[in-house]
Chains A and B, each alone.
Chain A
């Protein structure tokens, strides 16, 4: 059975990844997966206000996820965030934290901004994937890159990278994960919908395999920016 957009079950949507897309930022990246486009900008390490948030032991990683008002397929997204963006900002921070060494930045903050210009499911995942490239571009000390992807379960089939229709209209179980290759560990896991324990294990294996595909694209995009500066 083919999927609604003609893809195979384990096939990702077309990907574009670019590093250094926001000139003002210390690091930045764009990650486009099908109809979902995430921009991420990193500022810092920089001065942290309010001061009571400062930690003399290590720096703070602060994530801010936002959908642009015109980014949705349906009605306009009311600006100002809300509970959903707050929660996604938090799980994004948790997904990235295990790889980031904040010991070198006591009392300071590393700000990660994620903006979705267009959305077709998997927005938090695209955001995390973009953010980890932006952090590397900003020269932040990190153990590894982080890759994130949503796996779906529909009519007993496991689907890599579900799109908006599969998620909302067809009612697929949505399983966004984030994966850290060098540790072989998962730093984001959410499930929306029903799934058995055995299926979940398979879903995670599929997610990991596809994350490693995206990992190669991330590496290439980062190297492309810097290699251009070395050769020539």
Chain B
């Protein structure tokens, strides 16, 4: 039977759209086989690599993964630790042992470590099939976030905001002189001068909006240069 591709590389597809006919192509992430056709499973952009068709999601909720550093919010204080919101359908537990290297006595006031509403940069250590999640504060850079603001973007756009080897976020930090931490769950913490924070947020929202356009780094560089009135050196470029 003939194999025909029904879409082009980088095309936007809707769920259920036929991507290919015949058995010659292989359905990968975000696609499914329906008898002799391959169809899209969600809204996204198609990436064709030889005979393999996969879908890059352009929207959708964050899915917690072991090893992810995320920005979580304390939503409950329990006997054994804290419950935190991960900006997904599933909250996580931060146990006493994982919270600090201090010894915490039984019955101690846990709010002296983390109070309700606090934001923390934390790391996911375990995700069960039932989506029970453990997080830890033991690791480099993991900490409570003081001051600043939290903004949110779609978690699928996080890699774009970070950029290759952190080049994009480094550029924003340089231009705005803000501290910026990007959680894999799409929460971003920005701390700096008020007007610079606003610019950093505006820049990140622009990256989210234009995440899949060509020449993104260059466009963002120009945008920041125009807004700040100073030249920006991009890592890896010699000027």
| A–B contact (CB under 8 angstroms) | yes
Q: Which residues of A contact B (CB under 8 A)?
A: 26-27, 44-48, 56, 59, 99, 101, 105-109, 136-145, 181-182, 218-219, 222-223, 226-227, 229-232
Decide if B130 is an interface residue (CB 8 Å cutoff): yes
Distance between Cα atoms of A121 and B89 in the complex (Å): 36
> Which chain A residues border B41 with CB–CB below 8 Å?
101, 141-143
Q: Which of A26, A106, A222, A223 contacts B61 (CB 8 A)?
A: A26
Give me 13 other A-B pairs in contact (C-beta within 8 A), A136-B15, A145-B15, A223-B12 excluded. A44-B61, A56-B130, A139-B57, A139-B59, A141-B42, A143-B32, A143-B34, A143-B39, A144-B39, A219-B17, A229-B58, A229-B210, A230-B45
Q: Which residue of A lies closest to B156 (CB)?
A: A139
Contact, CB under 8 Å: A27 / B14 = no
In angstroms, Cα B91 to Cα A181, docked, is 37
List, in ascending order, chain A residues with CB within 8 A of B57's CB. Answer: 139
Which residues from B are CB-within-8-Å of A27?
Answer: 59
Q: How distant is the Cα of A52 from the Cα of B90 in the complex, in angstroms?
A: 16
Give A222 to B60 CA distance when docked, in angstroms: 14
The residues in B between 183 and 236 inclusive whose CB is less than 8 angstroms from any CB of A are 209-213
User: With A107-B131, A222-B43 given, is the CB distance from A182 to B89 under 8 Å?
Assistant: no
Q: Evaluate whether A137 and B61 lie within 8 angstroms (CB atoms) in the complex, with A106-B131, A232-B213 already known.
A: no
Assembled-state Cα–Cα distance A229/B227 (Å): 22
Write the nearest CB–CB distance from A62 to chain B, whole angstroms: 13
A230→B213 contact, CB < 8 A: yes
Say which size band chain B's interface belongs to. Answer: 20 to 34
- Min CB–CB distance A40 → chain B (angstroms): 15
Set of chain A residues within 8 Å of B39, measured between Cβ atoms: 143-144, 182
With beta carbons under 8 angstroms apart, the residue of B10, B16, B211 that contacts A144 is B16
17 A-B pairs, CB-CB below 8 angstroms? A59-B89, A107-B90, A108-B90, A136-B43, A138-B60, A139-B42, A139-B156, A142-B42, A143-B39, A143-B41, A145-B14, A145-B15, A219-B17, A226-B58, A226-B59, A230-B213, A231-B213
Q: Would you call A106 and B12 a contact (CB within 8 A)?
A: no
- Chain A residues with Cβ under 8 A from B34's Cβ? 143, 182
Complex-state Cα separation, A45 to B64, whole angstroms? 13
Q: How far is the CA of A230 from the CA of B213 in the complex (A)?
A: 5
A45 touching B45, Cβ below 8 Å: no
Q: In the bound complex, what is the Cα–Cα distance between A138 and B89 (angstroms)?
A: 13
The answer to whether A108 touches B89, judged by C-beta atoms less than 8 angstroms apart, is: yes
If A107-B131, A136-B43, A138-B59 touch, whether A143 touches B89 (CB-CB below 8 Å) is: no
Interchain nearest-CB distance for A18 vs B (Å): 15
- In the complex formed, the residue of A with least CB distance to B75 is A47
Q: Mark B16-33, 1 if CB is under 8 A from A, else 0.
A: 111000000000000010
A115 to chain B, nearest CB (A): 21
CB <8 Å contact, A47 and B16: no
Is B15 within 8 A of A144, CB to CB?
A: yes
B61 CB contacts on chain A under 8 angstroms: 26, 44-45, 138-139
A84 to B: closest C-beta gap in Å: 30
Chain A proximity of B62: nearest CB distance (Å): 10
A46 to chain B: which residues have CB within 8 Å?
Answer: 89
Tell me how far the C-beta of A118 lies from the nearest C-beta in chain B, rounded to whole angstroms: 27
Q: Which residues in A have their C-beta under 8 angstroms from that of B156?
A: 139
Instruction: Report which residue of B42, B210, B213 has the largest number of chain A beta carbons within 10 angstroms of its beta carbon.
Output: B42
Residue from B14, B59, B60, B91 whose CB has the most chain A CB atoms within 10 Å = B14
